[in-house]
């Protein structure tokens, strides 16, 4: 089982291999996630987001992604469409340029490559 530190190391390695920079952020607080998305405006060329349980509930995260206008890829380690019915609804998806689901941690690297055009 990988830790958050292990995930960030994987992301940083992938970013280095692609010649791009990555900044990782994690929070269990919806408002902090919104703040991070808004803070990316003017600084970041793309966002990879795994909204986790907020996928199915957060209009605030949806609005933040729409407001910043930064190409965003939604990533899910598992495939929510194969789980409970309520998990099949993603508010965030409509503001994203792509959704990657069910590919485990490799989904993060795939999202980064997509955004980097590689």
pLDDT tens profile 5-32: 999 999 999 999 999 999 999 999 999 9
Tokens of 17: 């291999």
pLDDT attached to residue 95: 97
Q: What topology is assigned to 4-116 in CATH?
A: Rossmann fold (3.40.50)
Instruction: Please tell me the distance from the alpha carbon of residue 62 to that of residue 30, in angstroms, as a whole number.
Output: 11
Say if CB 27 and CB 54 are below 8 A apart: no
Give the orientation angle of helix 30-39 with respect to helix 59-68, to 10 degrees.
0
Q: Could you tell me which of 36, 4, 20 has the C-alpha nearest to residue 12?
A: 20
Per-residue pLDDT of the chain (118 residues; tens, 9 = 90+): 788 999 999 999 999 999 999 999 999 999 999 999 999 999 999 999 999 999 999 999 999 999 999 999 999 999 988 888 887 889 999 999 999 999 999 999 999 999 999 7
Instruction: Please tell me the distance from the alpha carbon of residue 32 to that of residue 81, in angstroms, as a whole number.
Output: 27
């Amino acid at each position: 089982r990988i830790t958050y530190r292990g995930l960030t190391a994987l992301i940083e390695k992938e970013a280095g291999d692609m010649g791009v920079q990555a900044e990782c952020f994690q929070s269990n607080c919806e408002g902090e996630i919104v703040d991070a998305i808004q803070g990316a405006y003017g600084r970041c060329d793309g966002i990879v987001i795994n909204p986790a349980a907020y996928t199915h509930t957060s209009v605030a995260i949806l609005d933040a992604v729409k407001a910043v206008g930064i190409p965003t890829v939604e990533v899910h380690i598992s495939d929510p469409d194969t789980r409970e019915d309520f998990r099949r609804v993603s508010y965030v998806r409509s503001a994203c340029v792509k959704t990657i689901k069910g590919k485990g941690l490799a989904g993060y690297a795939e999202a980064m490559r997509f955004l980097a055009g590689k």
